[in-house]
Amino acid sequence: MSARRTALLACAALLTGLLPLTAAGAAAGADEPAPVPVDTFEGEVPFANPPAEGLFPWGGDADDPPRLALTARDDAPQGAKVLTGGYDISGYGGFTHDFAFDSPAHDWSAHKGIRFWWEGRNNGKKISFEIKDGGANGEASELWTTSFTDDFTGWKQIEIPFTDFTYRTDYQPVGGIDQVLGLTGMWGYALTLPTGVKGDFAMDGVELYGKGAQSLRASVVTDAAVHTVKEGAAADVRISVATTGSVPIDEPVTVAYETAGGTAEAGTDYTRVAGELTFPAGTASGTSRTVRVPTLKDRSAESAETVPLKLTVTGARAPAENPQVVIDAHGLPYLDAKLPVKKRVADLVSRLSLEEKAGQMTQAERGALGTPGDIAAYDLGSLLSGGGSTPTPNVPEAWSRMIDAFQLRARATRFQIPLIYGVDAVHGHNNLFGATVMPHNIGIGATRDPRLAERTGEVTAAEVRATGIPWDFAPCLCVTRDERWGRSYESFGEDPALVKSMETVIQGLQGARDGRDLKDDDRVLATAKHYVGDGGTGYGSSATGSYTIDQGVTKVTRQELEAVHLAPFKTAVDRGVGTVMPSYSSLDIIGDDAGPVKMHADAEMINGVLKDRMGFDGFVISDWAAIDQIPGDYASDVRTSVNAGLDMIMVPYEYKNFRTTLVDEVKAGRISERRVDDAVSRILAQKFRLGLFEKPYADTSGASKIGSSAHRAVARQAAAESQVLLKNAGGVLPLKKSQKVYVAGSNADDLGNQTGGWTITWQGASGKITDGTTVLQGMRKAAPGARIDYSKDASAPTDGYDVGVVVVGETPYAEGVGDVGNGNDLELTAADKAAVDKVCGAMKCVVLTVSGRPQLIGDRLGDIDALVASWLPGTEGDGVADVLYGKRAFTGQLPVTWPKSEAQLPINVGDASYDPQFPYGWGLTTLTKVPGGGSAALRALALVAAKAERLGADEAGRAAVTKARLLVQQRIGTRITPATAKPFADADHLLLTGRYKEAVARLTTAYKSA
């Protein structure tokens, strides 16, 4: 015990001794229960994740979770150790103590509140403190929240009465939830730490204190904050009394009510009501009374009008906000679904104030809302869920309830403009647990199957819309030119012709090109991203944190810009894509001497090329807080981006500041009202096309199909067709069901690694993070009864097996976090290398690389009998097993060039110097007889290809080139040289551009060089 701590305790004892006995007794609270420890941080509660009891950190991305430790401190307020941690949070982050899911919840109802010791840093930051009430477990419970301000220095005991907690309305749990702080089924607590400041913290002695007085535990709640009603009808507002512990109230509660204020006029728009409700002592918790507010009908067309119902509560805590009745807008032209969209837009825009227009241009992260009432207060046009921003529990019903609650708030605005809610569903509804997760785009590109790409979009759209979400931030139309880029797997490939061919996914998401299908319950608005050149950033050009290439600078000639990076966006515009998202990256066009320009500030490319030249009539949405990267102060960021052509700005946490700044910039004349009207018109047009004005709430009729066998069958086919067979010496593939198989490697039985980043959370995670089938599970299902043994590290004996399957590769990452040089490389891990060496040294072996980009495996290629590029196949490992066991043929082709070494990067089809491990377009097949006939066969195929090209017979032309490719591949075998690789890769590009005759000619050149 330190001298300082001994002195502190001695002083405390002296002060206690000087207190009068009556005061000391009062302080102790003779009839109060002793404090009940929740956490002493002496090691009694482990660091562990649910469902076990434990402390665990969390955050919006890989850098956001705080670092936690139990630290011995001489000045610890209780015991010898305290909980300490460091944090540097850009998105959101904090830590939780969850109680064990397999044990009963805790009962806190006998106590007044919760308290803990906090070591203040006097930084003035608010820290949110949440408790978890009711529901099935700590991750499926209601969250009740409050906060305290760190405006002190040193240790301070923070006491929070349970009456200070309010229900978190952005979370919509389901199952045994009543939105009453019962305290009888508690699952733990959580703290959300400050963002935008680097810091550390120390905490100790979490405990329950005091006696819970029933008079303090009674509260009055209403069924909803907003009650919409047609003009002339009556609104029924249900008012309930509730108690913590769900016991009857022990004294009367009265609720005086009156209609007062608002935009509606008493006697003209509604009948004034006033009165008093009484809940006598002994009334059961949950008892309700109803107040009816009649509205009056007239012949006028009107905007929505509000009738607040003022509640004055005696004997209990009043609701956090008074409910309001909203008389729906009616009779105005923009509400007439029979009118053309253009006329509806013009009518509505003419009615909006500047502030309302600015609100429509604002998009906030749903978790950043100060209160749900901000939706109406700031006339917000849109909300989004960033990666991992999900309701609790993360199930379809919770999503639809959450979004419906947000939409209800938008009904309290003058013109009741619905929100458009967006989400990054980049390979299926990947934020939702149990959804069908498709292969990432790199795998879809490997399928070379445009119709299948469209079907994956259809499944994604159906699952997303069934949860109430009408807008998807997909597809990514980046053309990946350097596999060191952490977003490589978001691209369909390195060839713009391949990317363009896969844009059928837009029709899968949206339906018809004219937008007539967008109102359907299985379609969503698509987003072409990231405009333009995000896949061409130079290595070392990024200025974002520790990123090396993502968000960097794309330096190209105008010719290269047009041919490589712009071409896919022209196709997207032609396909009717509804929105376009600019890139974080900068564009530096060689020869114009302008230097790098941030894409969010590039008026030439957004206004000039995208909107004017290409004729894009949708709206442009910014990326996450991307305008903050534009040089200058915030006002400059706003006017520069809006004047450059951005229509809606994703300002996750700055929605209030953005809206105010935008209004100020317009009033100052630095942004024209015409530019604002254009932006709002574009946004409203898509809302009308989506049918949101007629049906703002979720249509959940398709929810039963989420993760269904029919949807998973599409994902399974996509996984199978995405598998690229790079080598197959001795015909080791397909496997036979009678073979004894030894399976090893880090990715054989890991669903999280198999699905990659952007799965459940932004960065993804290893392990069983959702429902699906691993590669190992798929193999065992494909060969029931066969001996298939698994040893992850290949430590088990290898004797007695016919063949080995080693599944290796990457662990999940997203965006610049995955950049090579930012803690990543293209090499296998030491453990995976050891597994490959051991298995391939003991038996015939098949190696599968589960990864978002090529892996450098050339030094082991001679010892590997069969090599498969599996990419990131999603949740359906059955699809991988289908080709391994010959249920389907291997048909995939490389969407990117497979390099020999990292020093070769960037390396792409069309390069003057081209010496890859495997060329672009390479892909062996099984179950298909490879054409024979050599040069004579190629001459005959050249004639067929020429005729097909002349007649526009694309199917015949593609078939001729495919036969020639298989013939040439067989000839080349493992003897891939620059002389064979370059014409081979060129041929696949020519095939995709419809030049079948020339493609066969290039393949003939490769054949002759082999």
DSSP state of 549: S
Of 842, 839, 837, 879, nearest in space to 860 by CA: 837
Of 7, 80, 92, nearest in space to 44 by CA: 80
Helix (H) or strand (E) holding 743: strand 741-744
CB 923 within 8 A of CB 869: no
Question: How many CA atoms lie within 13 Å of 703's alpha carbon, on the beta-carbon side?
Answer: 16
Number of H-type helices and E-type strands within the chain: 26, 37
CB 416 within 8 A of CB 789: no
Options 61, 204, 503, 815, the catalytic residue: 815
**How many other C-beta atoms are found inside a 10 Å radius of the C-beta of residue 303?**
16
**How many other C-beta atoms are found inside a 10 Å radius of the C-beta of residue 772?**
26
SS3 string of 344-369? Answer: HHHHHHHHCCHHHHHHHCEEEEHHHC
CA dist., res. 196 & res. 92, Å (int): 9
Of 959, 965, 974, nearest in space to 1006 by CA: 965
Question: How many CA atoms lie within 13 Å of 280's alpha carbon, on the beta-carbon side?
Answer: 1
**Is residue 623 annotated as part of the catalytic site, yes or no?**
yes
Query: Structure tokens of 903?
Result: 């020093």
CB neighbour class for 51 (10 Å; exposed up to 12, middle 13-18, buried from 19): middle
CA dist., res. 711 & res. 458, Å (int): 9
Of 337, 259, 341, nearest in space to 292 by CA: 259
Handedness of CA 293, 294, 296, 297 (dihedral sign): positive
Residues 6+ apart with CB under 8 A from 3: none
Handedness of CA 862, 865, 867, 873 (dihedral sign): negative
Query: Structure tokens of 1?
Result: 């015990």
**Is residue 39 annotated as part of the catalytic site, yes or no?**
no
CB 439 within 8 A of CB 491: no
> β-strand 597-598 against 586-589: which pairing, if any?
antiparallel
Options 356, 463, 490, 623, the catalytic residue: 623
Residue appearing with tokens 């709640």: 221
DSSP state of 299: S
**How many other C-beta atoms are found inside a 10 Å radius of the C-beta of residue 755?**
29
Query: Structure tokens of 517?
Result: 């299908």
Of 464, 475, 483, 480, nearest in space to 505 by CA: 475
- Any idea how long the chain is? 1010
SS3 307: strand
**Residue 115 falls in which region: left (phi positive, over 0), alpha (psi -120 to 50) or beta:** beta
Of 650, 578, 542, nearest in space to 91 by CA: 650
Q: What are residue 241's phi and psi, to 5 degrees? A: -110, 140
CA dist., res. 464 & res. 423, Å (int): 9
Query: Structure tokens of 958?
Result: 């593609």
CA dist., res. 69 & res. 838, Å (int): 38
Q: What is the radius of gyration, based on Cα positions, of the chain?
A: 31
SS3 856: strand
**Residue 221 falls in which region: left (phi positive, over 0), alpha (psi -120 to 50) or beta:** beta
Of 931, 949, 933, nearest in space to 999 by CA: 949
CA dist., res. 841 & res. 863, Å (int): 7
Query: Which residues are marked as active site?
Result: 623, 815
